[in-house]
Homo-oligomer: A and B are copies of this chain.
Amino acid sequence: MEPAAGALVAAGALVPAKRAGASVVHLRAHWFIAARSRELRHAPVATTLFGTPIVLFRGKDGKAGALLDRCPHRNVPLSLGQVSDGTLRCPYHGWQFDTGGACTHIPSLPSERAGDVKARRAHALPTLEQQGFIWVYSAPSQDEQDPSTMPSSVPHRFATMGHRDYTTVVQSVVAPGTMYSTIENALDVPHTAFLHRGLFRAESRGLTITAKVRRTSDRVEAEYVGEPRPPGLIGRILSPSGGTVTHFDRFILPSIAQVEYSIGAENHILVDSVMTPVSDFVTRIYAVVSFRTRVPHFLVRPFVKPLALRVFQQDAFILAKQTETIRAFGGEQFASTEIDVLGRHIWRLLKQAERGDEHGGEESAEVELVV
């Protein structure tokens, strides 16, 4: 019963925290990726969303369903049970549930007392499977009597996935940071020249470029104008002969970080990083990298994954250390400059979404930074 160090340490005793808490948002009624399709076969899959345990399983028709991972009877995780004939059976007393959350069977209960009693229902979350991902809606089904009723919003689609000219690579990693910090990290330009030195860009060549920022009600976009061809390894692979660079960074609610590069007419790369808030300080990133290049894909592909994983590892390490520091000081205190181009816009959009405010004002700006 060794005490956890954290419980004993009075954090920040030397210098009082000016602001408590960290950039944590809880977004109800939005779509998040809960798993890849290929992960969900016959056995149920346990995961968490905003720290809440959920269980995925396939119903009789093969359709994926999601329930809170807690048997309403004695609160044992349903994910420990087995799927039988499209229902998930709790391992403790054998209560069975369909993907809509209805309790379809209770062993030992005389049949005249069985039935779809409200208190016996498991909470179901709307679920949609598309493009190889299982998306779950972060609020219980509105209509418990008909859990197949879907929300009016739909999950994000990956624009070039499956297109004949594109190769698409999917990778999932876990970042030990808040969803906000992980999104900002994915769209932050200055750190790439420093933390990822030699992978993305060389250290500064002293060129001043302009970022044109536009924020609307559900997204913010930065267009980088005047950017030279990346000189690093990725640049050399993408465009051996150079060419005009078009570069957009976008944040799309609730949790998509999108980076789009065009180099010349022939090279196009689109990276969608979809964040799943596993818990307040743990974010799963589903990265969908889609590209069209002038060099054959079979030559490019072997380089993309190892490079991307190296970048992820460096970011994950930094996010873990940031999380520890925020915790040790009892909250975060971020100082920003103009070149933290998208950070404050992402935070504003997330807070609007948390409040349920769908009509945040628009904003445009131009920022200069040296690359």
Taking Cβ atoms with an 8 Å cutoff, the residues of A that contact B are: 1-15, 24, 26, 28, 48-54, 68-70, 72-77, 80, 91-94, 106-110, 113, 119-120, 123, 138-140, 181, 188-191, 193-195, 203-204, 208, 279-282, 318, 321-329, 332-339, 368-371
Given contacts A93-B195, A328-B1, contact A107 B281 (CB under 8 A): no
Closest CB-CB distance, A71 to chain B, in whole Å? Answer: 8
Chain B residues closer than 8 Å to A321, beta-carbon distance: 76-77, 80
Closest CB-CB distance, A315 to chain B, in whole Å? Answer: 9
Q: How far is the CA of A203 from the CA of B193 in the complex (A)?
A: 65
**B6 adjacent to A75 (CB under 8 Å):** no
**B15 adjacent to A140 (CB under 8 Å):** yes
User: Can you give 28 contacting A-B residue pairs, CB < 8 Å?
Assistant: A3-B323, A4-B4, A5-B279, A6-B7, A9-B48, A10-B24, A10-B26, A11-B51, A11-B52, A12-B51, A13-B280, A14-B28, A14-B68, A14-B138, A14-B139, A48-B328, A52-B329, A70-B325, A70-B329, A75-B333, A75-B334, A77-B321, A80-B321, A107-B370, A109-B338, A109-B369, A110-B368, A113-B338
**B15 adjacent to A68 (CB under 8 Å):** yes
- Which listed residue, B51, B110, B181, B188, touches A13 by the CB 8 Å rule? B51
Closest CB-CB distance, A277 to chain B, in whole Å? Answer: 8
Chain B residues closer than 8 Å to A194, beta-carbon distance: 91-94, 107
Chain B residues closer than 8 Å to A329, beta-carbon distance: 52-53, 68, 70, 75
Closest CB-CB distance, A144 to chain B, in whole Å? Answer: 13
Tell me how many chains of this kind the complex includes.
3
Most chain B beta-carbon contacts within 10 A, residue among A75, A91, A189, A339: A75
**B9 adjacent to A281 (CB under 8 Å):** yes
Chain B residues closer than 8 Å to A24, beta-carbon distance: 10
Most chain B beta-carbon contacts within 10 A, residue among A48, A72, A282, A337: A337
Instruction: Tell me the nearest residue of chain B to A1, going by C-beta.
Output: B5
Chain B residues closer than 8 Å to A77, beta-carbon distance: 321, 324-325
Chain B residues closer than 8 Å to A26, beta-carbon distance: 10, 13-14
